[in-house]
Structure 1
Amino acid sequence: MSTSLSRVGLEDLEKLKRHAYRIRRNALLMGEVQGQGYVGQALGVADVLAVAYFRHLKFRADDPEWEGRDRFLLSIGHYAIALYAALIEAGIVSEDEIENYGSDDSILPMSGMAAYTPGMEITGGSLGHGLGIGVGMALGLKRKSSDSFIYNLLSDGELNEGSTWEAAASASHWKLNNLIAIVDVNDQQADDKSSTVLAYEPVADKWTAFGWETWRVNGNDLEELVQAFDAAVSSESDKPRVIICDTLMGRGVPLLEARDKTHFIRVDENEWGLALAQLDDAYGIK
């Protein structure tokens, strides 16, 4: 996808870059607390979250249940560490909660649960349900004449689920142009590469065939993400919209970028500090 710096704005890109850096850093700090976590996915999707939260989402940090907000649904509950990192950056969750990540009675459990965390709209532990919930929410908002959007982050692995495609078909049928699906394509799931478990290509053509406006971008390129999100939000089509984001697990930390990709990247105890240092170096922060 071609982009234009003059349209995006260098100052805007720099702000988004800083947000993406801090989202990555928050995720690493939480991972260090427990010595584990889905940090590979969090690092990979940080740019997507930065553009979503800090360019387009309507929210009030001091009132997470504000009726006029856009809803961000985390269909992939094990990505919770990524969303927590964004919620902390957005001021919805206190930075002090980082040290409590995954602990008993923490508001940041290792798998996302709506009852625990401000700004966590759904409990997405069982994969394949998020888009269906999003369809219901989007339809409800339309019937209330709301101008709010539903954003639903799902994974390439969830494209294995028939319920995902049932939801995609119903969204098109109901002309839910207030629904934006975001698919994180990192080609990893629990048992193997997603493309090996069940081939998903040509993924963009499939969404288009289901009646969605479709964009596919490098999910670690802020310019491409901004252009796709801007187009999805401003489109005058009556179709639902999907942004397919190809991402690299571990992005921003060379030692994790180079590691054999698995669903759960192992980080040894002595590597957390090195990972943070490499992240700072990648962003030119001393």
Structure 2
Amino acid sequence: MYCDEKFVIMYAQKGDNLNIMENKELALHAKNIRRNIVKEVYSAQSGHPGGSLGATDILTELYFEEMDINEENLNTLNRDRFVLSKGHASPALYAVLAEKGFLPEEELTTFRAINSRLQGHPNMNYVEGVDMSTGSLGQGISCAVGMALANKLDKNDHRIYTVLGDGECQEGQVWEATMSAAHYKLDNLCIIVDNNNLQIDGHVDEGMSVYPLDKKFEAFNCHVINIDGHDFDQLRAALKEARETKGMPTVIVAKTIKGKGVSFMEDQQGWHGVAPNEEQYHAAMKELEAE
């Protein structure tokens, strides 16, 4: 489903009612995106539903309210760019692109199929709107740093956004990239950590703990904001604060629930990379429709 952005603009002078209308519209987009995530993974009988569902609200806020990206500027340099550093959450990215109207919704059922453009990790060579090919954890944020630095050198005022997994922060490359971002004072870079405390082999804090994430990023000279990653008001406020922060990159540590929106998947390690069977698929879709 693609909803005309003019709908939101109509309410731009409604004062306190604006956030209420925006949040309802964003919630509708998020529901459609989650349904398509489940559809993608079920169609492929492969993929990563948990982290994709958990990151949905973050991507919804970015693509439908925060980022300067539309059909007119999609293939130009004059727009904001997004890097999904946790590339295994590609079902969320593809579903968002379809919701924006950049990708035919019917193509989502070809996810991970032979000869499909929609492979398990995003490939910028095949899909318009995918700004960087990702998959090897830690590398996406490095590319985002390079994009942000290039924009600074080119005097391009558009911003770069990237989403990391908390387990991904176990990669040393994440911290090298963050150190570089702070060194070059990349205040046009916003790093969002999808902090659900689960990875493929268990709880992050019980494996190789990355905590406290906020203090660590602060030690790397970043401006850090802690939020609930499912609260559109908090997401909106944090992204505004990031835009207004000068002289350093901003890191938003967004607390999320893996599998958000499907009760039997929520906060369950087992749904990191497992596709639902037919019964589970119908149960999930029914639950999301009633949400």
- Is 1:170 paired with 2:166? no
User: How many residues align structurally?
Assistant: 277
| Inter-partner Cα distance in structure 2 for 1:198 and 1:15 | 38
Contact 2:224 2:250 in 1 (8 A): yes
The residue type equivalent to 1:175 in the other structure is K
Structure 1 SS opposite 2:77: coil
C-alpha RMSD over aligned residues:
1.7
| Inter-partner Cα distance in structure 2 for 1:189 and 1:124 | 17
Structure 2 SS opposite 1:182: strand
Structure 2 match to 1:96 = 106
- Is 1:72 paired with 2:82? yes
Moved more, 95-104 or 163-172: 95-104
The residue correspondences of 1:23-42 to structure 2 (distance < 5 A) are 23-42=33-52
| Inter-partner Cα distance in structure 2 for 1:7 and 1:173 | 41
- Is 1:87 paired with 2:97? yes
Deviation digits for residues 195-214 of structure 1, max 9, x if unmatched? 22211111111111111111
Percent sequence identity is 34
CA distance 1:62–1:246, change in 2 (3 Å)? same
Structure 1 SS opposite 2:227: strand
| Inter-partner Cα distance in structure 2 for 1:79 and 1:253 | 16
- Is 1:278 paired with 2:273? no
| Inter-partner Cα distance in structure 2 for 1:166 and 1:6 | 42
| Inter-partner Cα distance in structure 1 for 2:107 and 2:226 | 35
The residue type equivalent to 2:164 in the other structure is L
Contact 2:86 2:134 in 1 (8 A): yes
The residue correspondences of 1:168-247 to structure 2 (distance < 5 A) are 168-233=178-243, 235-247=244-256
CA distance 1:227–1:68, change in 2 (3 Å)? same
Q: Which runs of 4+ in 1 moved over 3 A?
A: 5-8, 258-262
| Inter-partner Cα distance in structure 2 for 1:220 and 1:105 | 35
Moved more, 255-264 or 141-150: 255-264
Structure 1 match to 2:266 = 257
Consecutive unaligned residues in structure 2, runs of 5 or more: 1-14
Consecutive unaligned residues in structure 1, runs of 5 or more: none
Contact 2:84 2:163 in 1 (8 A): yes
The residue type equivalent to 1:272 in the other structure is Y
